[in-house]
Amino acid sequence: MTTSAYLSGTAHDIYEAIRADPIVSPHGHCDPRWFSQNHRFADPAALFVIPDHYLFRMLYSQGIALERLGIGQSAEERDARAIFQLFADHWHLFLGTPSRIWLDHSLRHVFGIDDPLSSASAGAIFDQIETALARPEFRPRALYERFNIEVLATTDAATDDLAAHRAIAQSGWGGRVIPTFRPDAVLNPEHDGFAAGARAMITGHGGDPGRYDDYLAALRARRAGFIALGATASDHAIEAPATHWLDPAGIGAFYARAMKGDLTGPEAQVFYGHMLVEMAQMSLDDGLVMQIHAGSRRNTNAQIYRRFGPDMGADMPLATDWVRGLEPLLNRVGNDPRFTLIAFTLDETSYARELAPMAGHWPCLKIGPPWWFHDSHAGIARYFDQVVETAGYWNLAGFNDDTRAFLSIPARHDVWRQGVALHLAGQVGRGYFAPSDATRIAKELSTGLARHSYRLTV
């Protein structure tokens, strides 16, 4: 979709070999209704600024109130053009950040806009985007096809009815948009609405919320429902990757207290950690690939959270102990060939110290790509530098874009592929392997490992 003028020699050759590969997107946060309804996208502000916490967090850090960016406002309340102008007026703040690279890429390659964004050009660019969005080839399904997406996984609550996914499946459209099972809200006793959600889930499957076995059965049934609509993976977002295995004799009482809202703090975390092991055990039977995204402390700005809710740019990474945290889980299921676990970290110190050694031993474990703040040129370089020598390439899970910014998907995969090319060209230059090895590995990193790790090749 692009060429990158600064890649030369071996890096350029490797990049060219994978540049136009299809996009395999096994983890992300697109809204499935975009593809079931195929409505046009709203205005440029609603498309680029308002839903993108990468963007508005930076503006907020420089003193721009979220209200001025239309956050928390209805479409009627806000002035899309003024928001886009305000954003463009502060575009210099993004110099050196991946957000700027992604947006530049989208403007150029999705909208054909070569004029750099600036205060002066903002109005004209707003108009160009507006005009484009009204055209059928900018509807979600058309863009999905133009982006050459092979598969796109969304992330969906365990209690989601998956209506949009069902509609997509029944629509006859050829796109492969699949759900991902994200049950944290019915696993973590400290989650708002844990008990209500679990109760609804259990009774919805004809069970008795008072019985732990029925809770497990309902979870199994929900997983089956996701699988029926194409899901190949589950996902967990947790602050610390702590797992536990509770005595079967004692788990019932723990569960009862959780359902009464009587399990908090460390005890709640033990229950949650136990449920992660239960989920892993279910994966042995139903084959869902388990993902753990660990190390983000959510909603650390209480004022912003009270006013605007979650995902407002105030989630902060923490140091993470994977070795001790996963030990209980791995010692129950980690040697089982049926199990795949993909781990994502925000603590780069755990790449070389923990995840690479662990992935280089445990048959189940793959290292997810650089996540969130580290999905960037330098973040990708550090990732390869720190994981490959110990884990090799085949213990990596390839790339995923993990985004709700649909238009940035090609840009994110492109940045990754450039990073792959630069890394592998460096390896060739240092004499570690031949260009033919590099091309083989590049193909794996571009698409092969993602397909394989997420069991998407079927």
Stretch that binds a second copy, among 122-130, 165-173, 280-288, 374-382 (CB under 8 A): 374-382
Residues 317-356, interacting with a second copy (CB under 8 A): 317-319, 321, 323-324, 327, 330-331, 334-335, 337, 346-349, 352-354, 356
Stretch that binds a second copy, among 91-99, 193-201, 211-219, 405-413 (CB under 8 A): 91-99
Q: How far apart are CA 380 and CA 371, in angstroms?
A: 9
H or E, element range at 142: helix 140-146
Nearest approach, Cβ of 76 to a second copy (angstroms)? 27
| From candidates 15, 194, 383, 393, binder to a second copy by CB under 8 A | 393
Q: How far apart are CA 170 and CA 312, in angstroms?
A: 35
Nearest approach, Cβ of 389 to a second copy (angstroms)? 4
Q: Is 361 one of the binding residues for a second copy (CB under 8 A)? A: yes
Cβ neighbours of residue 186 closer than 8 Å, sequence gap 6 or more = 158, 159, 194, 197, 198, 201, 219
3-state SS class at 184: helix
Cβ neighbours of residue 31 closer than 8 Å, sequence gap 6 or more = 154, 164, 404
Nearest approach, Cβ of 74 to a second copy (angstroms)? 24
Q: How does DSSP classify residue 22?
A: P
Nearest approach, Cβ of 314 to a second copy (angstroms)? 5
Cβ neighbours of residue 253 closer than 8 Å, sequence gap 6 or more = none
Phi-psi region of 112 (alpha: psi -120 to 50; beta: other; left: phi over 0): left
Nearest approach, Cβ of 55 to a second copy (angstroms)? 11
By CB under 8 A, the count of residues binding a second copy is 82
Residue placing its CB nearer to a second copy in the complex, 12 or 222: 12
Q: Is 1 one of the binding residues for a second copy (CB under 8 A)? A: no
Q: Is 452 one of the binding residues for a second copy (CB under 8 A)? A: no
Residue placing its CB nearer to a second copy in the complex, 391 or 450: 391
Residues shown for the chain: 458
Q: Is 175 one of the binding residues for a second copy (CB under 8 A)? A: no
Q: Is 120 one of the binding residues for a second copy (CB under 8 A)? A: no
Residue placing its CB nearer to a second copy in the complex, 5 or 458: 5
Residues 403-442, interacting with a second copy (CB under 8 A): 427, 429-433, 437, 440-441
Residue placing its CB nearer to a second copy in the complex, 3 or 203: 3
Stretch that binds a second copy, among 81-89, 188-196, 208-216, 383-391 (CB under 8 A): 383-391
206 CB neighbour count, 10 Å cutoff = 10
Nearest approach, Cβ of 294 to a second copy (angstroms)? 13
Q: Is 291 one of the binding residues for a second copy (CB under 8 A)? A: no
Residue placing its CB nearer to a second copy in the complex, 169 or 381: 381
Nearest approach, Cβ of 413 to a second copy (angstroms)? 17
Q: Judging by DSSP bridges, how do beta strands 341-345 and 365-367 pair with one another?
A: parallel
Nearest approach, Cβ of 437 to a second copy (angstroms)? 6
Q: How far apart are CA 414 and CA 3, in angstroms?
A: 9
Residues 3-22, interacting with a second copy (CB under 8 A): 4-6
Residue placing its CB nearer to a second copy in the complex, 193 or 392: 392
| 301 neighbors 280 (Cβ within 8 angstroms) | no
Residue placing its CB nearer to a second copy in the complex, 124 or 319: 319
11 CB neighbour count, 10 Å cutoff = 22
| 293 neighbors 320 (Cβ within 8 angstroms) | no
Phi, psi angle pair for 54, to nearest 5° = -65, -40
Q: How far apart are CA 132 and CA 109, in angstroms?
A: 13
7 CB neighbour count, 10 Å cutoff = 19
**Residues in contact with a second copy, shown as a per-residue x/- string from 54 to 83 under the rule CB under 8 A:** ---xx-xxxx--------------------
Q: Is 169 one of the binding residues for a second copy (CB under 8 A)? A: no
Partnered with residue 365 across adjacent β-strands are 341
3-state SS class at 456: coil
